[in-house]
Structure 1
Amino acid sequence: MLKRWDGFTSFLDDVRICLTNNAAERALRGFALGRKSWLFAGSDRGADRAAFMATLIMTTKRNDVDVLASLADVLARIADTPVSRLEQLLPCNWAPKTLKAQSA
């Protein structure tokens, strides 16, 4: 324990570090409850797509972005977005189009 004391007490110096993992377990609860529904994804490709969508949705929630608005906007814009600008559609960078930009 003494060899790891700095790591053990790091939560005292950084307020972002939780003393328990309760928040992390609560965040995973919804995903864990859906496991039976996703057990038979149909194929490996279907399972990969389900994992991708779950990751995208959870990342969007983590960035305090409205999931439905974000997904609807991204799906509408992704085909016309050049590969070099796809990073703008990531949940951490996403911003809805303004009315002026949509009418132009």
Structure 2
Amino acid sequence: MLASLIQTAKLNDLDPLTYLADVLQRIVDGSVPVNRLDALLPWNWTATEVAQAA
């Protein structure tokens, strides 16, 4: 499953480490409601300012 997430991030021209770190942090923080998890998919994802700075 992890390999699939990494490959999907790469296919969407994202840095997999930045993408996964941001998505996991948002899930842990609860900053994304359950009904908006689709916003975390690689093709919908936009980095937060913290992740962009890294």
For normalisation by structure 2, the TM-score amounts to 0.78
Larger radius of gyration: 1
Higher relative contact order (CA 8 A, sep 6+): 2
Look up the match of 1:59: 8
Backbone CA RMSD of aligned residues: 1.2
Unaligned runs of 5+ in 1: 1-51, 100-104
SS of the counterpart of 1:91?
coil
Q: In 2, distance between residues paired with 1:65 and 1:89?
A: 12
Equivalenced residues, count: 48
Query: What's the CA shift for 1:69?
Result: 0.5
1:23-72 per-position Cα deviation (integer Å, ceiling 9, x unaligned)? xxxxxxxxxxxxxxxxxxxxxxxxxxxxx111111100000011111111
SS of the counterpart of 2:46?
coil
Query: What's the CA shift for 1:97?
Result: 1.1
Look up the match of 2:25: 76
Unaligned runs of 5+ in 2: none
Query: What's the CA shift for 1:82?
Result: 1.3
Query: What's the CA shift for 1:98?
Result: 2.6
- Structure 1 segments (4+ residues) deviating >6 Å: none
Look up the match of 1:89: 40
Identity %: 52
